[in-house]
Chain A
């Protein structure tokens, strides 16, 4: 790795040539895809140059430009605040009762930034390098470099807003290290970093609401995007309180609707987190990229029973001090862990990966936990015929640092664990198990964060561009805020420089069509009059996805899953039961719409996973592994972004490939041993 800019004029890798074709018959090959605004030149100058090249909109004209932003998490809230402050006319939508409840709030661990406050060898280039490598070379290098570059400004911005990051005694900011990296570059606010960052963005946004530049629409759900004359020009939203279907027109639309991990039913996402905004846009022509890239988080509280509605994450910062182990002998699994002597414990991560130990990347930590449980060495209660848990043990940390120091660092996490499980983790080792946490797939965007529909921009977790196949810890918060505060405001102005666009009338056929389709869809849900709740279909979908499209996938399993999802879809549309009316607050109706979209997305995820016959990141294809059972990437075949175009209700999705070419980093097979 070079410390200075090593950008080469010619790429260091060859374009991929896919030989396998596992998904044949499920898709239609499409034209190759190129990012039309991809920057060139030395990597460290690309963003600076682009900010300069992008056209400006003078302050007097900004007032005449309307921007719709869907979602109020880190990306959407920060974008609304920044664009409002710049003087644009912003309409902000969220399904929650307040923008401050967006699910970014639940992120615990921290946010990375290349500040090098610890003088331990960190730099913009190293953060960039770690992120591309941690993403298994499936992200775009220009986008990731930009992310690393603006990371330092994010911390400055948040501190200025009053985000109470952890501090050292001298009053300076504290840092810690996080899974997958060897420097301390993570800024944190105890175990509530997401909450504090979100409140910062929310307060900045509310300041603009008071200033009159941002109008907020809470308890509103976007159900359709309006594409008129080839451009995104507005949305159809439902007021979740009155049921009214509303038309909102604008010059540009930004989606910041987060991820779709709830396709698995059980996940760490909020109950309401859904894919609808993105999926409706996909059906209107926006490509969905790498949908199968799901991140499985290694440190969640294990499932306790059949009734469970969601999973709770324990920050992986716990892996800094906690040691992960399972009993060496199966017969010890039922025992009280405190009665198992040291020599009968298998600290498997420290054993297999001595240089990273308990801090290996998330996918490795997750898969090894699953392997231990599959071997029959899992711990905790039997769920079905399985014990799904491994120990995360703080005994050594408490002995080394003292209980008070451990309490100081992780107090709220330990409390939360005890509340949920009824066990005291200061006395008994915690139990953890992997769970679906974050998705790296999302709507395809170019370097300007514009989707394949002109005028439709996508930010944060809802887009695909920065994380590749395996997002590292503490980088999602970084991307959300980078997009919202710094990237989008600088790229969207180049698009808006052509505006204001011709006024759109509500009688325009595109508006009428979008509105009618929403009304008909709502009516359809209410008139199926079947026997099953939307929730019951969701649960069934989740089981299929976790079983066949989760941590480990195979050709056979994925084919089976696609058949099962198609059957489920047919059952959904004939046997759904939604009570109540369209003109009122109707949570069953809301769920029905979201589950209908999850079912279609689930099928596409399986097709994408079936096509990608390689293991990379959290995506482990049984057919692609080394002799030791480690994930084996296939760069010659799959160093590309799979961008799927909607093929119609009766057609097949169309696969467009965007080659991933690296000029600054040489691709290497991963090794964390």
Chain B
């Protein structure tokens, strides 16, 4: 198929960006979206134009690196990561708009690449269980009820891609935050730090410039791992409990 691509080009963080239009031909429907961009980049390199910079790594839908707004949707029209989006989702003659994640807290570094370091800093604020290496108790000495473990697991499937933030009109990272709070809060090991964790992570979230959550639900609709919206309820519940407990 032949396609028209409108792509955000921005040389670096300090320079203004603009949309550029490119044509690609002979795209097979079996290609992934990123392989289609590889084809474009070979084409650009051949004519001496700087290839389009975009992030990707595992290309198996698990590392969370790829991050494109495609026709205004985070990761494009399917509920998946950009690397697992295939060209069979498009048709011959389509015009496709490709932009970087949109959010103040994710500044653009170049073209389609943004800086998501804010997520690491939110984890640093408390997104962990303080277990020192080498002194852990026997694994089966603390049973975890299966239903709770399942819920923890489902929340833990978050890949930190940032699609939730990019999709949210408020640029909120509440789904990301809620997923981590739920993952650790559902497990017996996560209880001792439960209150301080949520207070500290929420404070860091706000400090990074992410917006507040108004329960619009675009985040969960865009989430490639289908993290449910109720993790945000869990986040709010844990936050209220922590505040009530004096944190």
Contacts and interface: CB of A to CB of B under 8 A. Distances in A.
Interface of A: 78, 81-82, 85, 96-101, 103, 105-106, 115, 117, 153, 155-162, 164-173, 189-190, 192, 194-196, 199, 202-204, 206-207, 209-210, 216, 218, 241, 268, 270-272, 304-305, 307-310, 312-313, 416, 419-420, 422, 485-486, 489, 531, 533, 535-536, 577, 579-580, 584-585, 587-588
Interface string B43-63: 001101111010111111111
Contacts of B17: none
Given A206-B128, A584-B11, A195 B159 contact: yes
B45 A588 contact: yes
A162 B143 contact: no
A75 to B, nearest CB: 14
Contact of B12 (A194, A272, A579, A585): A585
Interface of B: 11-12, 28, 30-32, 34-35, 38-39, 41-42, 45-46, 48-51, 53, 55-65, 78, 80, 84, 86, 88, 109-110, 113, 115-117, 119-120, 123-125, 127-134, 136-140, 142-146, 149, 152-153, 156-157, 159-160, 183-184, 187, 189-190
Task: Report the 7 A-B pairs with minimum CB-CB distance, sorted nearest first.
Answer: A171-B143, A203-B128, A160-B136, A160-B131, A164-B153, A156-B136, A210-B124
B132 A85 contact: yes
Contacts of A203: 123, 127-129
A304 B87 CA distance: 13
A20 B230 CA distance: 66
Contacts of B146: 167-171
Contacts of B42: 533, 535-536
B39 A218 contact: no
Given A97-B117, A162-B131, A312-B60, 10 more contacts: A81-B133, A97-B115, A159-B189, A160-B139, A164-B152, A218-B117, A241-B110, A309-B59, A313-B60, A579-B49
A156 B139 contact: yes
Contacts of B134: 82, 153, 157, 485-486
Contacts of B157: 192, 195
B61 A270 contact: no
Nearest to A485: B133
Given A203-B127, A307-B35, A486-B134, A173 B140 contact: yes
Contacts of A101: 57-58, 63-65
B27 to A, nearest CB: 9
Contacts of A485: 133-134
Contact of A204 (B35, B41, B56, B133): B133
Contacts, number: 214
A184 B214 CA distance: 47
A598 B83 CA distance: 24
A212 to B, nearest CB: 10
B18 to A, nearest CB: 18
Contacts of A420: 84, 86
A378 B50 CA distance: 42
Contacts of B152: 162, 164
Contact of B153 (A190, A207, A271, A307): A190
Nearest to B143: A171
Contact of B86 (A81, A99, A419, A486): A419
Given A157-B136, A167-B146, A204 B31 contact: no
18 contacts: A82-B133, A103-B57, A106-B60, A155-B139, A157-B136, A158-B139, A159-B142, A162-B184, A168-B146, A170-B143, A203-B127, A204-B133, A206-B128, A209-B120, A310-B59, A312-B60, A535-B38, A587-B53
Contacts of B136: 153, 156-157, 159-160
A164 B78 CA distance: 27
Contacts of B30: 304-305, 307
A164 B150 CA distance: 8
Nearest to A381: B30
B140 A579 contact: no
B60 A97 contact: no
Contact of B59 (A155, A173, A271): A271
B185 to A, nearest CB: 10
A93 to B, nearest CB: 14
A161 B57 contact: no
Contacts of B159: 195
Contacts of B32: 309
Nearest to A205: B128
Contact of B128 (A106, A155, A161, A305): A161
Nearest to B39: A307
A156 B116 contact: no
Given A106-B63, A206-B128, A156 B137 contact: yes
Contacts of B117: 97-98, 218
Contact of A579 (B48, B80, B86, B113): B48
Given A204-B133, A419-B86, A585-B109, A98 B140 contact: no
